[in-house]
Amino acid sequence: MNKDHIIKRFISYVTIDTESDPNNPEFPSTSKQWDLAKILEKELINIGMSEVSLDENCYLMATLPSNIDYDVPTIGFVSHIDTSPDFTGANVSPKIHNDYDGGDILLNKDKNIVLSPSYFEDLLKYKGQTIITTDGTTLLGADDKAGITEIVSAMEYLLNHPEIKHGKIRICFTPDEEVGKGAHKFDVDRFAADWAYTMDGSQIGELEFENFNAAAAKITITGKIVHPGYAKGKMINSMTIASDFINRLPKKEVPESTDGYDGFFHLHHLEGKVEQTVLQYIIRDHDKELFETRKKLIQDIAIQMNKELGNDAIMVNLKDQYYNMKEKIVPVMHIVDIVEEVMKDVGIKPLVKPIRGGTDGSQLSYMGLPCPNIFAGGHNFHGRYEFIPVESMIKATEVIIGIAKKVANKYKP
């Protein structure tokens, strides 16, 4: 696997701004996602992929035809084009750090932004490797342009090495995953794979077939503005009510205090004036019953507070986003076992663990396409401290190639 080629391909993708927009109902939510999709369309044609198709919804699909004379299941690989709106993805300026020495990495001298293993301990796993970082002013976009890099590189390698035998492979690059819509218009029938894998995990070795059940809650609180000098008995300050609402939720059940299978309430946006305050939460839990309990608690708090206030000042809008894919994967666990075997074959210790988030794969699994998640190699997604070891991308590419080989061998007559 050519290291310089992987680096060049990855950097060519991350320097294209593809940030999605959670507030735009259009699909895709930003027109700039088309910029990368069209570049990838040409690239897939140039490397020799078949049935390359970019549809009206910005889903790019392609086929690597089988090169064997017997039938095996068609497998797929999926990654997303967009980057998170949580932190800017415009004007990304990647920095390459060769032979990382285990010390602090100065991302931006002018702004004194430092990526330090004293805070981000995972850096120490990659001493001696080549690490790509941001310049401290943007995210990097390894989520999920690393996945795209790995899929394209694996397909190119298989095309250039026909001696490696494999069945039919389908790939798809999707828009709007970061705003929860990545699978909404995915045509599972057209994709026509027996199962697939998203290349959208974090550190090397991650293999995930469980994820959060997820919902979004928008709490709108209505107040009443009156001149503060004459406000007694008349003003209703929606921000004060909002503060009370926040404090009635469990204080330790937040992202910064939970891990593993713990669920949480995450207040990710707050906008307020006296007359109106809007709180936006995401609600997460692996356990379906606890997930429903969390949603009910949000509603019960609003009902109780409205009773205390004597009016319907608090309105709750709840919307489910995706569900735990475990229910759909457990009946076909052999598709996870294959990846574990391949990882061991290429010298990787599998890290089978639940996703504290979601991927296109969670929705696709419920749409009839079982779709576990495999590491793409990045760390600290969605922020200025994002980084990725190049060696992890190379290993992920080897895993894709290994899965193709393993499936062909397992189903050989």
CATH H superfamily, domain 3-211+324-410:
Zn peptidases (3.40.630.10)
CA distance 22 to 24: 6
- Among 180, 154, 187, CA closest to 400: 154
The mean pLDDT value of the chain amounts to 96
Per residue in 3-62, pLDDT (tens digit) is 999 999 999 999 999 999 998 999 999 999 999 999 999 999 999 999 999 999 999 999
Q: Which active-site residues does the annotation give?
A: 82, 177
In this predicted structure, the answer to whether residue 122 has a pLDDT above a threshold of 80 is yes
Contact 175, 57 (CB under 8 A): yes
Phi, psi angle pair for 267, to nearest 5°: -80, 105
Do 214-322 and 3-211+324-410 fall under one CATH topology? no
Whole-Å CA distances, 266 to 46, 120, 211, 257, 258: 44, 22, 16, 11, 11
In this predicted structure, the answer to whether residue 299 has a pLDDT above a threshold of 90 is yes
DSSP3 helix / strand / coil % (the chain, rounded to 5): 35, 25, 40
In this predicted structure, the answer to whether residue 356 has a pLDDT above a threshold of 90 is no
In this predicted structure, the answer to whether residue 257 has a pLDDT above a threshold of 80 is yes
In this predicted structure, the answer to whether residue 357 has a pLDDT above a threshold of 80 is no
Per residue in 59-114, pLDDT (tens digit) is 999 999 999 999 999 999 999 999 999 999 999 999 999 999 999 999 999 999 99
CATH code, residues 214-322? 3.30.70.360
Task: Return the domain boundaries, the chain.
Answer: 3-211+324-410, 214-322
- pLDDT score, position 321: 87
- pLDDT score, position 281: 97
Per residue in 228-251, pLDDT (tens digit) is 998 899 999 999 999 999 999 999
Per residue in 148-186, pLDDT (tens digit) is 999 999 999 999 999 999 999 999 999 999 998 999 999
